Chain A
Amino acid sequence: MRVENAEVVDTFAEAFAMWGSRVIITAVSPVWAMAAARAMTGFATSVIGCKCEAGIERELPSAETPDGRPGVSVLLFSMSADSVGKRLLERVGQCVMTAPTTACFNGLTAEQEAAVGGKLRYFGDGYQIAKFLDGRRYWRIPVMDGEFVVEDRFGVKSSVGGGNLLILGPDLPVTLAAAEAAVAAMRQVPGVILPFPDGIVRSGSKPGSKYKGLPASTNDAYCPTLRAFAPSTEVIPEAGCVLEIVIDGLDLEGVREAMRVGIGAAAAHGALRITAGNYGGHLGQYQIGLHSLLAA
Chain B
Amino acid sequence: MKLAFHHRPEVPIEAEVITPEKLAGLSEAEVSALPLQYGNERVPLGEFFRVSGRYEGEILVEGDLSRVKMIGSGMSAGRIVVDGDAGMHLGVGMSGGEIVVKGNAGDWVAPDLSGGRITIHGNAGHLVGSAYRGSAMGIRGGEILIHGNAGNEAGNAMRRGLIAIGGDCGDFGGVNMCAGTLIVLGRLGARCGASMKRGSIVSMQPAPLLPTFGYACRYEPLYLRLYLLHLKRLGMSVGEAHIEGPYRRYSGDAIETNRGEILLLDA
A residues near B (Cβ < 8 Å) are 66-69, 103, 129-134, 138, 140, 146-147, 149
* Contact B230–A138 (Cβ < 8 Å): no
The residues of B that contact A69 with a CB separation of less than 8 Å are: 225
In Å, the complex CA distance between A146 and B219 comes to: 7
The residues of A that contact B225 with a CB separation of less than 8 Å are: 67-69
The residues of B that contact A134 with a CB separation of less than 8 Å are: 230
Of A103, A132, A140, which is within 8 A of B141 by CB? Answer: A132
Of B141, B200, B226, B259, which is within 8 A of A138 by CB? Answer: B226
Other A-B pairs beyond A66-B229, A131-B181, A146-B222, 17, CB < 8 Å? A66-B226, A67-B222, A67-B226, A67-B229, A68-B225, A103-B222, A129-B259, A131-B223, A131-B226, A133-B226, A133-B227, A146-B219, A146-B220, A147-B221, A147-B222, A149-B222, A149-B223
The residues of A that contact B69 with a CB separation of less than 8 Å are: none
The residues of B that contact A131 with a CB separation of less than 8 Å are: 181, 200, 223, 226-227
In Å, the complex CA distance between A129 and B177 comes to: 14
A-B contact pairs, 17 of them (CB 8 A): A67-B222, A68-B225, A68-B229, A68-B243, A129-B198, A131-B226, A132-B160, A133-B181, A133-B227, A134-B230, A138-B226, A140-B222, A140-B223, A146-B219, A146-B220, A149-B223, A149-B226
Secondary structure at the B interface, as helix, strand, loop or mixed, is mixed
Interface residues in B217-267 by Cβ distance below 8 A to A read 219-223, 225-227, 229-230, 243, 259
Given A67-B229, A68-B229, A138:B243 Cβ within 8 A: no
In Å, the complex CA distance between A130 and B243 comes to: 20
In Å, the complex CA distance between A146 and B179 comes to: 20
Interface assignment of B158: CB less than 8 Å from any CB of chain A:
no
The residues of B that contact A103 with a CB separation of less than 8 Å are: 222
What's the least CB distance linking B132 to chain A, in Å? 22
What's the least CB distance linking B227 to chain A, in Å? 6
The residues of B that contact A130 with a CB separation of less than 8 Å are: 179
In Å, the complex CA distance between A130 and B223 comes to: 10
In Å, the complex CA distance between A80 and B221 comes to: 35
Interface assignment of B65: CB less than 8 Å from any CB of chain A:
no
* Contact A133–B162 (Cβ < 8 Å): yes
Give the nearest-CB partner of B217 in chain A. A146
Q: Which 5 residue pairs across A and B have the least CB separation, nearest first?
A: A67-B225, A149-B222, A146-B219, A149-B223, A140-B223
In Å, the complex CA distance between A133 and B229 comes to: 11
In Å, the complex CA distance between A132 and B219 comes to: 21
In Å, the complex CA distance between A146 and B226 comes to: 16
The residues of A that contact B219 with a CB separation of less than 8 Å are: 146
